[in-house]
C-alpha cells in the first residue's frame, strides 16, 4: 500500500495582512566562547528560519553534518528569538532576530518561507561570511545523491530509493537522511539536559503529576481547536488527578482559557528554551493537537500524546520527523482535524481513552475520527510505513 492512499490535505490559512517590509533589522549577538572571529572568508553563517519542528531536526542532524563537512570555520547560526540554547553547544555565536519580528514565523513552511523580509536577511548575511540558507537543510533531509561523476543525479524523496533512477548504481548512491532515519538516529546531537538549578526551579513552581498542555494557535494552516475544548480537556486531566501546566510560545499558542492552572507561557522565563525543557522534564507527559511541540518532550525522553491527521504521518514527512526526535515513549491518536473540530465530545472521549492506556503503559497508536478506518489500519500494519521505531 502506498502513502498516496491518504492525499495531503490543503489547509486554508487564516486571513493575513500583506507582509510589510521591516527594513534593516538589528540582531542580538550571543557569543559562546573566547575564540577570535577571523576574516569573513573563514566565517560560516547558517540560517535557521524554519518551523520549530524542522528547526530541532536541523540542530540535531543537519548542522552537525554541515560542520563535519566544512571543518575549521568560525560558525554562526542566525535564527529566531529565544533559540540560543539549541545552538550554544554547536557553534561559536548565535545571532537572534528580535522578538518584535516573531510574526515572520507565520510565513514559514517546514524549511521554506514566502517572506521577502527573511529572504532579504539571509541574502545580507553574505556580507559577513559564507552562507548556508535555511532551504539547504531541507534538501539535506530529502536529497538522494548519485556519486557517479558521469551521472550526479539528485532525487528529492523522503521515502527509500533503492538505487539511482538514472544510472542504476546502488553502492555509489547516497540515500536521504529521512529515508534511513533509524540508522541516522544514533548520530543525533541532542541539546544538553537542563541544569539542576533550572530543574529545581521548575519543580518548585509545578504541582504533582504535572501534564504539559500545548494549544495550537497559529495562523499558518489554521488547525486551531476551540478554547472551550481545552477547558474540558483540563477538567478531564484534573479529575484524573493530574496538574495541567499551560505551555508554548505566546506567538503560536492560544491564551490559557482558565485562571487556576499554572500558565508557564506567560512567564518571562518561557522565552528561555532550557527553562522550558526543565518544566517539561517535570511533567509526566505532554499533550498536543496538530503541533510539533512533541519535539520538546521527545528530545528529553518525556512521553507525549499527539492528535494528528493520517496524511501528515503517512503521506508527508511528519511521522519520520517524530521518529528521529523522540527518545522516549509516544502515543498517536490519528484523527481528521475537521472531525475533531465538529465533534469535540467524541474527541475528548478519545483523549481520555488515550490517557487511560498511557497509564497502563500502552503506547500503541489509536485510530480515532477518520474517514477510512480500514485503509488506515492496513497502512499502519505495513512495516515500511511503521514510523514509530526509535
Domain 196-385 in this protein, CATH class = alpha beta
Closest of 387, 350, 344 to residue 368, by C-alpha: 350
Q: For residue 285, give the 3-state DSSP assignment.
A: strand
DSSP 83-147: -HHHHTTTSSEEEEEPGGGGGGGGGEETTEE--HHHHHHHHHGGGTSEEE-HHHHHHHHHEEEE-
- Residues 137-190: pLDDT tens digits? 998 888 898 999 999 999 988 888 888 999 998 888 888 888 888 888 989 999
> What's the pLDDT score for residue 221?
67
Q: How many C-beta atoms surround the C-beta of residue 190 within 10 A?
A: 15
- Residues 225-271: pLDDT tens digits? 999 999 999 999 999 999 999 999 887 889 999 999 999 999 999 98
Q: State the pTM of this model.
A: 0.88
- Residues 360-377: pLDDT tens digits? 999 999 999 998 787 777
- Asked whether the beta carbons of 92 and 31 are under 8 A apart, the reply is yes
> What's the pLDDT score for residue 313?
84
Per-residue confidence band for 308, with pLDDT thresholds at 50, 70 and 90: very high
Q: For residue 210, give the 3-state DSSP assignment.
A: strand
Terminus-to-terminus CA distance in the chain, angstroms? 23
> What's the pLDDT score for residue 3?
35
- Asked whether the beta carbons of 320 and 181 are under 8 A apart, the reply is yes
Averaged pLDDT for residues 337-342: 95
Contact partners, residue 59, CB within 8 Å, separation at least 6: 48, 86, 87, 90, 189, 191
The residue that leads in pLDDT, 14 or 187, is: 187
Distances from the Cα of 124 to the Cαs of 81, 118, 205, in angstroms? 18, 10, 43
The residue that leads in pLDDT, 289 or 387, is: 289
> What's the pLDDT score for residue 277?
97
Q: How far is residue 271 CA from its own chain's centroid?
A: 16
- pLDDT of residue 5 exceeding 90: no
Per-residue confidence band for 195, with pLDDT thresholds at 50, 70 and 90: very high
Residue 8's φ and ψ, nearest 5 degrees, are -55, 135
Residue 257 to residue 265: CA distance in whole angstroms: 12
> What's the pLDDT score for residue 18?
65
Residue 351 to residue 338: CA distance in whole angstroms: 16
The residue that leads in pLDDT, 218 or 64, is: 64
Helix 273-281 and helix 196-205, axial crossing angle in degrees, nearest 10: 60
Q: Where are the domains of the chain?
A: 9-140, 143-187, 196-385
Amino acid at each position: 500500500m502506498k502513502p498516496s492512499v491518504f492525499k495531503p490535505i490543503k489547509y486554508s490559512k487564516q486571513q493575513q495582512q500583506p507582509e510589510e517590509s521591516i527594513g534593516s533589522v538589528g540582531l542580538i549577538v550571543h557569543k559562546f566562547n573566547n575564540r577570535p572571529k577571523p576574516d569573513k572568508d573563514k566565517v560560516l553563517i547558517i540560517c535557521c528560519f524554519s518551523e520549530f519542528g524542522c528547526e530541532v531536526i536541523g540542530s540535531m542532524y543537519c548542522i552537525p553534518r554541515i560542520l563535519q563537512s566544512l571543518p575549521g570555520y568560525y560558525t554562526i547560526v542566525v535564527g529566531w528569538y529565544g533559540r540560543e540554547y539549541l545552538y550554544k553547544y554547536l557553534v561559536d555565536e548565535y545571532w537572534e532576530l528580535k522578538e518584535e519580528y516573531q510574526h515572520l514565523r507565520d510565513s514559514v513552511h517546514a524549511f521554506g518561507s514566502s517572506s521577502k523580509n527573511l529572504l532579504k536577511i539571509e541574502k545580507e548575511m553574505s556580507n559577513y561570511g559564507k552562507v548556508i540558507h535555511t532551504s539547504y537543510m531541507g534538501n539535506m533531509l530529502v536529497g538522494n545523491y548519485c556519486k557517479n561523476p558521469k551521472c550526479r543525479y539528485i532525487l528529492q524523496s523522503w521515502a527509500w530509493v533503492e538505487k539511482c533512477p538514472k544510472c542504476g548504481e546502488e553502492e555509489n548512491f547516497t540515500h536521504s537522511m529521512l529515508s534511513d532515519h533509524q540508522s541516522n538516529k544514533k548520530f543525533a546531537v541532542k541539546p544538553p539536559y537542563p541544569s539542576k538549578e533550572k530543574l529545581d526551579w521548575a519543580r518548585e513552581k509545578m504541582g504533582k503529576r504535572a501534564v504539559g498542555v500545548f494549544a495550537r494557535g497559529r495562523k499558518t494552516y489554521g488547525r486551531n481547536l476551540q478554547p472551550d475544548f481545552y477547558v474540558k480537556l483540563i477538567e478531564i486531566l484534573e479529575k484524573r488527578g493530574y496538574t495541567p501546566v499551560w505551555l508554548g510560545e505566546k506567538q503560536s499558542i492560544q491564551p490559557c482559557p482558565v485562571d487556576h492552572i499554572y500558565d508557564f507561557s506567560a512567564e518571562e522565563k518561557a522565552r528561555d528554551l532550557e527553562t522550558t525543557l526543565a518544566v517539561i522534564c517535570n511533567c509526566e507527559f505532554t499533550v498536543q493537537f496538530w503541533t510539533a511541540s512533541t519535539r520538546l518532550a521527545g528530545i528529553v525522553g518525556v512521553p507525549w500524546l499527539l492528535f494528528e491527521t493520517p496524511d501528515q504521518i503517512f503521506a508527508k514527512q511528519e511521522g519520520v520527523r517524530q521518529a528521529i526526535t523522540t527518545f522516549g515513549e509516544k502515543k498517536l491518536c490519528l484523527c481528521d482535524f475537521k472531525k475533531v473540530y465538529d465533534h469535540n465530545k467524541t474527541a475528548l472521549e478519545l483523549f481520555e481513552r488515550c490517557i487511560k492506556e498511557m497509564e497502563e503503559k500502552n503506547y500503541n497508536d489509536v485510530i480515532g475520527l477518520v474517514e477510512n478506518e480500514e485503509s488506515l489500519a492496513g497502512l499502519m500494519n505495513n512495516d515500511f510505513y511503521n514510523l514509530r521505531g526509535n
